[in-house]
Structure 1
């Protein structure tokens, strides 16, 4: 499985890939970008699979969703050698590493804006991170008009948004009650969020609008929590593919992936299967301040999301490129939920124990877009996934520079009222 990269908080953890077919010496140091002891293999002839694998002393492994690939256990350190050997066999369609998925996230700041500028800024007061200086609200023009969209729809509970991430806190008053399904593909012992990223992302999508804490962009939508990242923020491409398959099979209409990973044919098959079954997939483009493609965002059947700041400029860290980054959304100082218990995402040398805080990154921009998709679908429940995607992408506001992304910064009101 390829390992996932969270595309959210400050420092970008880029996953360096390994070329298929590469041969490494037996004494080579382990490659941190691949999962030790397992590979992904897809056969052209399933009947021949067992025999081919036995030739290399390997078992048949387990299927990865409906991709046709199998997750095969191999001796640690032999992954690339076996990929090369299996890839030469004519009955093998492909063999590839199970790459590591890790957060591509910005570290959250120690303080936060006491308001959610990304949703609505008219008549609100904004303060700097220290809370001692008021900021001119007129300069904060980067909101996505979510509150205006709520006059049309606040979402409907049958529009399920699957958050494939590090889990969602089991007992947070603003988001836990919105979770209608949970599954764990991280290999960890619990589906709870001990990392913190998934709870923050889920709150951006659908936190309860109850005059306390924060509100999600689609407050009446529901969440499916697919834990594909461990308590340390690490996942695999096979775990993500299984999470996509689970989400589709359990009624998700929208899938958000605030993470990134090297290209994987297995993951691409899972994405295409989901799209072909009528789901809209959204993913963070990454925080590399470059045009380097990251996946799953760069797949054609995924809406790739860059990040803007509160002046509607490209966030300094955001990956960009109009040839593959589709839209943008606020990704700087985005206020949302964090687990009630301690979680790993915090400032240097400490554990987070706050209920709410800000996060920076395309990880925060992606769920704003996913929630905008959910609002748009709620206003047009009979629409196809291709029509909903077109409404969201064609109704954006100008933001950033020409060439940063194919469209603009999403506008929820424009999307839900789009003809």
Structure 2
């Protein structure tokens, strides 16, 4: 029976229910749904309106008879939020990326994630992954057995697809530069080799969410060579509440610290006079290689991909910009945090709306 706004009649006595049903016109009785066990029946609204006057007359004649009238109430499962409902992580909102997606989504920009690899089968990433290299083991693909690289990649470029999460620049071309093993460690030579692969494959931005207290001539040479080829390098400052780690400490690299939801610099965030910016890096939700495929992490590693995504939004609209010119635009697009020294926040928080507005100046 097709029901339009069905009406439920609930009789208090079985006899009243039976009496009512047997005295109905046959056409209406056929269109009804009967629930004799509960002394109830359901009918279409039009049929109910037609019978209302008759029912009222019957009520006046038989005061003992009682009937209640209900609508066909709808109930819903107590489901948790599913992966089919896309969430915009707080950091992506804080840097105001969604405000500029009508102008730029990072399309055409080649970003290398120098990390533990990327989960190439992740539904929020697979369409954006265009290739990569595994310098730990050239005979193996860039599978992420740690999770760190996949998390970083999601903040940069998780798809805007009504599923899971969305990244700062959801149409970036991602390249996995796998130099870190399952335990999260990497050799100097594997990192340098990954940078050279990026040079050969015309990567435009490299995300370097790692560091060491020690500097290195080899790594510094690789970084300077990449800069000569127009690659913008962005690195996390470190999580020990002390001076900058390397490679963030190299002048050719943009160094990024972390802030929390309240706009405060995270207690763990490394600092120094060469710190460039701070970005969201506490309780960041992003992609993950194992179920439930999403995870929340904190660290300057999580702050860095926010800036990488912002630079991709800029380069997508202005691909001619050099790393020096990009930095100039970034410096003019920050919001200063109150009562916090430059050593702790650099120039402040870069926001997308200010960054892309400069292209119209």
TM-score range, shorter chain: 0.7 to 0.9
Q: Distance in 2 between matches of 1:362 and 1:387?
A: 24
Q: Which has the higher helix share?
A: 2
In structure 2, stretches of 5+ residues that fail to align are 1-85
Total equivalences in the alignment: 270
Q: Distance in 1 between matches of 2:194 and 2:356?
A: 28
Give the conservation status (yes or no) of the 8 Å contact 2:278–2:346: no
Partner of 1:162: 112
Partner of 2:230: 278
Q: Distance in 2 between matches of 1:368 and 1:305?
A: 9
CA offsets per residue over residues 370-393 of structure 1, 9 Å max, x none?
111111111212222211121113
Partner of 1:336: 286
Give the conservation status (yes or no) of the 8 Å contact 2:92–2:306: no
5 Å matches for 1:45-84?
Answer: none
Q: Which runs of 4+ in 1 moved over 4 A?
A: none
5 Å matches for 1:100-111?
Answer: none
5 Å matches for 1:129-208?
Answer: 143-157=94-108, 159-187=109-137, 189-208=140-159
Give the conservation status (yes or no) of the 8 Å contact 2:283–2:296: yes
Give the conservation status (yes or no) of the 8 Å contact 2:337–2:345: no
Equivalent residue in structure 1 for 2:184, among 210, 233, 243? 233
Partner of 1:116: 89
CA offsets per residue over residues 371-419 of structure 1, 9 Å max, x none?
1111111121222221112111321111261131321011112112224
5 Å matches for 1:9-408?
Answer: 115-120=88-93, 143-157=94-108, 159-187=109-137, 189-261=140-212, 262-290=214-242, 292-321=243-272, 323-340=273-290, 353-399=291-337, 401-403=340-342, 404-408=344-348
The TM-score with structure 1 as length reference comes to 0.62
Give the conservation status (yes or no) of the 8 Å contact 1:263–1:296: yes
Give the conservation status (yes or no) of the 8 Å contact 1:168–1:176: no
Q: Distance in 2 between matches of 1:315 and 1:394?
A: 23
User: Does residue 1:409 correspond to 2:349, yes or no?
Assistant: yes
In structure 1, stretches of 5+ residues that fail to align are 1-112, 121-142, 341-352
Q: CA deviation at 1:115?
A: 4.7
Q: Bigger relative contact order, structure 1 or 2, given CA contacts below 8 A and separation 6+?
A: 1
- Cα RMSD of the aligned pairs, angstroms, is 1.6
CA offsets per residue over residues 267-313 of structure 1, 9 Å max, x none?
001101111111110000000112x2311111111000000001111
Partner of 1:26: none
Choose 1 or 2 for highest CA Rg: 2
Give the conservation status (yes or no) of the 8 Å contact 1:304–1:324: yes
Q: Distance in 2 between matches of 1:393 and 1:275?
A: 19
Partner of 2:38: none
CA offsets per residue over residues 350-383 of structure 1, 9 Å max, x none?
xxx3201111000000010011111111121222
